[in-house]
Amino acid sequence: MRQDFPHEPVMVDEVVDIFATVPQGVVVDATLGGGGHAEALLRARPDLVVVGIDRDSDALAAAADRLAPFGVRASCHHARFDDLRAVLVAAGHRPGTVSGVLFDLGVSSVQLDRPQRGFSYRFDGPLDMRMDPSGGPTAAELVNGLPEAELARLFVANGEGRLARRIARHLVAERPILTTAALADAVSRSVPAPARRRGHPARRVFQALRIAVNDELGALARALPEAVDVLAAGGRCVAISYHSGEDRLVKAAFTEAVTGGCQCPPALPCGCGAVPRARLVARGARRPTSAEVERNHRAESARLRACERLPIDEDG
Ligand SMILES: C[S@@+](CC[C@H](N)C(=O)[O-])C[C@H]1O[C@@H](n2cnc3c(N)ncnc32)[C@H](O)[C@@H]1O
């Protein structure tokens, strides 16, 4: 692992393996981070170039350093991945000709472990959580500004169960909450004792706020169909997700691409004229090996799905 950006890329052998057969050309690394996956791909396939995207300029700077030895084969772009088509065009590549798109979702270990970024209940820092600190609302603005019912809805939508309303009520009573330690403490005190014994009770609340602050699910839902659209025939889209909300979106977007949106009863021939755009590379989601999980605890919740673009009918 690199000392300047200590993030261990997840399922890197599986990613390299899935991209082993794609046509030569451009791979978009839509979540470049410190460039671990990108470096592995550039090493494994000398006929590929990588267009890297990240909304976090600290990550981009680390990736630019790491990928410098590859010269013009790697470029780094400060953008959101739902703008991947515009990034491609600006970098001089035609949509529809791309060999691969990779999403390694969520946050990096570096983002989580820097207290000043405000992502983690394990450290004290400002309640920020923006992947791109140059704009958009902070977690503090949501915690201190949203009505109680909206806070509760946000916690429910992003994984907090039946305690969501109770936690939201408690947080509203404790406002203003300005630091990660203050939030973690307020959440801990808001839940009954048994809930405190199942891991840190603030874990899901922090995740829910991070997802909302960065509009993670909205950006992913917009980006996935674009990613399939920009692929050339034989090009592949790979997505690694870390929680069920992300994985559901990946599965739905790939199913839509594979069926062309066909809703006809499975027992009958399709009569709706839907045109499949892709095939699944493997059924279901792949999981990391137990050896990888042992080495890198962050890999534990990873689920990898992949699809391959079918030959494109120019009339369709
Ligand atoms: C898990 S890390 C990727 C690590 C990377 N694969 C590596 O090998 O170092 C996820 C990265 O995606 C970025 N990211 C998340 N959502 C994004 C979005 N909507 N647009 C652009 N970058 C995003 C985060 O800033 C973070 O750096």
Task: Look at residue 78 and tell me if it is in a domain.
Answer: yes
Ligand 1 pocket mutation, candidates 16, 101, 108, criterion most atoms within 8 A of CB: 108
Task: Look at residue 123 and tell me if it is in a domain.
Answer: no
Tell me how far the alpha carbon of residue 266 lies from the centroid of ligand 1, in angstroms.
37
Ligand 1 pocket mutation, candidates 131, 207, 292, 297, criterion most atoms within 8 A of CB: 131
* Residue 5 clears pLDDT 80, i.e. is over it: no
**105, 252: one domain:** yes
**24, 48: one domain:** yes
Q: Does ligand 1 lie within 6 Å of residue 236's CB atom?
A: no
Average pLDDT over residues 106-127: 94
Q: Does ligand 1 lie within 6 Å of residue 80's CB atom?
A: yes
pLDDT in tens, 220-262: 999 999 999 999 999 999 999 999 999 999 999 999 999 999 9
Task: Look at residue 40 and tell me if it is in a domain.
Answer: yes
**242, 174: one domain:** no
Termini Cα distance of the chain:
46
Range of the domain at 172: 133-213
Q: What is the CATH number of the domain that holds 148?
A: 1.10.150.170
Domain end: 159, 191, 213, which one? 213
**236, 106: one domain:** yes
Q: Does ligand 1 lie within 6 Å of residue 308's CB atom?
A: no
Domain end: 179, 213, 247, which one? 213
Rounded Cα–Cα distance for residues 100 and 12 (Å): 15
> 303-309 and 231-241 as β-strands: parallel, antiparallel, unpaired?
antiparallel
CA pseudo-torsion sign 96, 18, 108, 74: negative
> 303-309 and 25-29 as β-strands: parallel, antiparallel, unpaired?
unpaired
* Residue 64 clears pLDDT 90, i.e. is over it: yes
* Residue 151 clears pLDDT 50, i.e. is over it: yes
Structure tokens at 124: 């004290």
Answer yes or no: are the C-beta atoms of 280 and 242 closer than 8 Å: no
Q: Please tell me the total number of residues recorded for the chain in this structure.
A: 316
Total count of domains within the chain: 2
Tell me how far the alpha carbon of residue 264 lies from the centroid of ligand 1, in angstroms.
37
| Torsion angle in degrees (nearest 10) through CA of 9, 13, 16, 19 | -110
Answer yes or no: are the C-beta atoms of 191 and 163 closer than 8 Å: yes
Chain mean pLDDT for the chain? 94
- Mean pLDDT lowest for which of 87-96, 188-197, 246-255, 259-268? 188-197
Q: Does ligand 1 lie within 6 Å of residue 106's CB atom?
A: yes
Q: What is the pLDDT of residue 316?
A: 45
Task: Look at residue 226 and tell me if it is in a domain.
Answer: yes
Task: Look at residue 128 and tell me if it is in a domain.
Answer: no
**Residue 134, burial from CB neighbour count under 10 angstroms (0-12, 13-18, 19+):** exposed
Q: Return the ligand 1 atom nearest residue 34 CA.
A: 9
Q: Return the ligand 1 atom nearest residue 5 CA.
A: 9
Q: What is the pTM of this model?
A: 0.95
According to DSSP H, which parts of the chain are helical? 12-18, 36-44, 57-67, 84-90, 109-113, 139-145, 148-157, 164-174, 180-190, 193-196, 202-213, 216-229, 244-259, 290-295
**87, 60: one domain:** yes
Q: What is the CATH number of the domain that holds 91?
A: 3.40.50.150
Domain end: 157, 187, 213, which one? 213
Tell me how far the alpha carbon of residue 127 lies from the centroid of ligand 1, in angstroms.
20
Nearest protein Cα to ligand 1, atom 8: 36
**103, 24: one domain:** yes
Q: Does ligand 1 lie within 6 Å of residue 100's CB atom?
A: no
Q: What is the pLDDT of residue 314?
A: 60
